[in-house]
Amino acid sequence: GQSLEQPSEVTAVEGAIVQINCTYQTSGFYGLSWYQQHDGGAPTFLSYNALDGLEETGRFSSFLSRSDSYGYLLLQELQMKDSASYFCAVRNRDDKIIFGKGTRLHILP
């Protein structure tokens, strides 16, 4: 089987930095993705890591450690519009993409 664990909720202050962790158990691991979803909207793709290390895209960065089956999404200079749910997702060798249950990010002014 496969499973992904991420915190259900995280709270941070506007302008600060927040890290959302994701641990996974799966066979045939290819890569880890992150998606953002605002209330009532569809998920949108943020980043993908296939190799160990940090990928940076503007204010967002994503990290992967294959040996630890662990990754995180780092959001810097938080803005109120970053209030959303964030999902990690694993891509397997059979090309299935399985999502975690999501982390709801609350941002305080």
Partner 1 sequence: NAGVTQTPKFQVLKTGQSMTLQCAQDMNHEYMSWYRQDPGMGLRLIHYSVGAGITDQGEVPNGYNVSRSTTEDFPLRLLSAAPSQTSVYFCASRGQGPYGYTFGSGTRLTVV
Q: Which residues bind partner 1 (CB under 8 A)?
A: 8, 31, 33, 35, 41-48, 50, 87, 89, 94-102
> Which residue lies nearer to partner 1 by CB, 71 or 100?
100
Nearest distance from C-beta of residue 42 to partner 1, angstroms: 4
Q: CB nearer to partner 1: give 70 or 99.
A: 99
Residue with tokens 């503007």: 58
26-60 burial: b if 16+ Cβ within 10 Å, else e:
beebebbbbbbeeeeeebeebbebeeeeebeeeeb
What are 34's two structure tokens?
Answer: 């992150």
| Nearer Cβ to partner 1 (14/52) | 52
Residue 54, amino acid? L
CB of 38 to partner 1, least distance (A): 12
